[in-house]
Amino acid sequence: MIALLKRDLTLAFRAGGGFGLGLAFFLIVTVLVPFSVGPQSSLLSTIAPGGLWLGALLACLLSLDRLLALDWEDGSLDLLATAPLPLESVVTIKALAHWITTGLPLVLAAPVLGVLLNLPVPGFFWLVVSLAIGTPALSVLGTFGAALTVGLKRGGLLLSLLVLPLYVPTLIFGAEVARRGATGMETATPLLMLAGITAATIALLPFASAAVLRVNLR
């Protein structure tokens, strides 16, 4: 499993879909928000938690189309399906590699970009916490979408259409945690809901993704 994780991390960096692309997109979205809504500091402070969460969510979509496509194209996916390692573990490792190369850099960069949107000081901590808890769910859900569309020509758009509705609960509770934290309100309820969504996706979706891959590989 460690060897597979190292291989996926290496492929992610070599393919150009690693942390650099996601961070660049996240930065562009953050910079464009003040141009679209105006430079008012109070308005930017209000929309900062939701804007940063939305930017991170969209950045996670960029590399999903290549999550399984590279292995499909070179035949590695067939070998992994027949390997002693369960296919559920393979899918989990690929989701972990996606989170390390995409989700984790977004978590680390979010406080810096929060300065650009005038995020209130109390909100920095809760923004990082909510992204750290919520982005693993985005990677696991994205892996499920990639499994559904693997082998389809030009499946990137279809993948986005399939995955975006599944991202909505994570976006709602993640942004709510950051918003409440920024305004000094109680964050326990949305934080527990966000953690529950992430735990449920990690526990259940690898089995669904593996089942879909078995169907597509037949």
Question: Once rounded to an integer, what is the mean pLDDT over residues 135-141?
Answer: 94
Residues near 39 by beta carbon (within 8 Å), at least 6 away in sequence: none
Integer CA distances (angstroms), 115 to 9, 51, 98, 120, in order? 30, 12, 26, 9
- Which ranges of the chain would DSSP assign to H, the alpha helix? 2-14, 19-37, 41-61, 69-74, 76-81, 87-98, 104-116, 121-149, 155-183, 188-217
* pLDDT tens readout for residues 52-101: 999 999 998 887 877 787 777 777 777 777 777 888 888 999 899 889 98
Confidence of residue 190 (pLDDT cuts 50, 70, 90): very high
| pLDDT at residue number 169 | 95
Confidence of residue 178 (pLDDT cuts 50, 70, 90): very high
User: How many Cβ atoms are within 10 Å of 95's Cβ, its own excluded?
Assistant: 28
Residue 16 has pLDDT above 90, yes or no: no
| pLDDT at residue number 15 | 60
At 42, list the tokens.
Answer: 């109070």
User: How many Cβ atoms are within 10 Å of 214's Cβ, its own excluded?
Assistant: 12
Q: Distance between CA 68 and CA 126 in Å, rounded?
A: 32
| pLDDT at residue number 177 | 96
Residue 17 has pLDDT above 80, yes or no: no
Residue 138 has pLDDT above 70, yes or no: yes
Question: Once rounded to an integer, what is the mean pLDDT over residues 176-203?
Answer: 95
Residue 18 has pLDDT above 60, yes or no: no
* 22 contacts 88 by C-beta, under 8 angstroms: no
For residue 154, count CB atoms less than 10 angstroms from its CB and return exposed for 0-12, middle for 13-18, buried for 19 or more: exposed
Question: Once rounded to an integer, what is the mean pLDDT over residues 12-28?
Answer: 74
Max avg pLDDT among 137-151, 166-180, 202-216: 166-180
| pLDDT at residue number 31 | 87
Q: Distance between CA 172 and CA 158 in Å, rounded?
A: 22
* pLDDT tens readout for residues 143-166: 999 888 887 766 677 888 889 999
User: How many Cβ atoms are within 10 Å of 86's Cβ, its own excluded?
Assistant: 12
Question: Once rounded to an integer, what is the mean pLDDT over residues 106-119?
Answer: 91
| pLDDT at residue number 155 | 64
Cα atoms found within 13 Å of the Cα of residue 187, Cβ hemisphere only: 22
pTM over 0.85: yes
Of 193, 54, 211, nearest to 143 (Cα)? Answer: 211
Share of the chain above pLDDT 90, in %: 44
